[in-house]
Amino acid sequence: MRRRELIGVLATMATWSLAARAQKSTGLPRIVYLDAQPTPSPWIAGLLSGLSDLGYTNGKNISLLRKQAAEPTVAAVKVAILEIRDQVDVLVVTGTISGVAAKSVTTSIPVVFISVGAPVDIGLVESLSHPGGNMTGVAFEAASETYAKRLQILKEILPNLRHVAVLGANDDPNYRFAMTSLNQIAPALKVVLSPIGLNNKNDLINAFGDMKRTGSEALLVVSGGLTYNSSQTIADLALENALPSCHGFREAVAAGGLISLGPDLVALAKQSARIIDKIIKGEQPANIPVEQPDHYRISVNLKTAKALGVTIPPALLVGADEVIE
């Protein structure tokens, strides 16, 4: 997100809380955006843009409130939801951790999730076409093949690759989903996987020590709140330990990771505005299909490739949506 855009988003967010309180008795639909990120996340810009495109203006035909969770954990998000559950008509949450927290706290408030991995597999919805409860939204990825493709990308870059570390948060359902997918494809690629679990950001240095001890030759990072918030640290440690890395977030590649395959987070949030619009107009989340990303992007950091001494295959470069030099 560009600096000017970020300043604009922050200015808009600063007015949400005051405006929502002032409009509490106006009868406007109250939309609460619950943010579990420690810094303004890229989803905000997409959500605001999508709502604006549909003709929504805060204070005119909707009331917007941003609620900040104390930290990106299930427990903290639960507390944040309980604090505002009587002030919301549509709750918007981002990331799998927040989706799981919302599922456990409320079965009555309409919840729109953004960027949740495998919502069916982790039990948030009954199916993509018919969610069947109070939740629907836009999935980060709903197919297990996406993680298999990330491992294949590493194998394309390193044809002799034999040992890959898989880094993820222990309490993130995405981690279990990812390992199931990766374990299915690894034998065919003749790759051994070493799962490396994190409890918090402070575990990262020891985690990379474990990778070194197990002889890992590359790193696959499971997409989630903890790994997203630790993108810079993970990228730095991967480079320091000479580990080519594959990610789900292009932000990790911008921070110095080698390559990523994943959706555009701003675009996901913009998609979610259509679902919010349907709920405001009376449709039930149970009957609104979960949407999937319109497009998966490949981002490559050639500067990192050069530092690691690896060559990105021409076919990958030609197919990349973003090349950082």
Q: What is the pLDDT of residues 52-77, one digit of tens each?
A: 999 999 999 999 888 989 887 889 99
CA distance 317 to 139: 26
Q: What is the pLDDT of residue 2?
A: 45
Separation between Cα atoms, residue 214 and residue 166, nearest integer Å: 12
Strand partners, 297: 262
45-49, 163-167, 305-309, 311-315, range with the lowest pLDDT: 45-49
- Residue 34 burial class via C-beta count within 10 angstroms: exposed 0-12, middle 13-18, buried 19 and up: buried
Q: Amino acid identity of 166?
A: V
Q: Where do the domains of the chain lie, and which CATH numbers do they carry?
A: 3-142+264-294 (3.40.50.2300), 145-263+297-324 (3.40.50.2300)
Produce one character per residue of 132-152: b if its CB has 16 or more CB atoms within 10 Å, e if not: ebbbbbbbbbbebebbbbbbb
- The pLDDT tens digits of the residues spanning 190-246 come to 999 999 999 999 999 999 999 999 999 999 999 988 899 899 999 999 999 999 999
115-to-129, 233, 248, 272 alpha-carbon distances in Å: 17, 22, 11, 10
pTM for the structure as a whole: 0.85
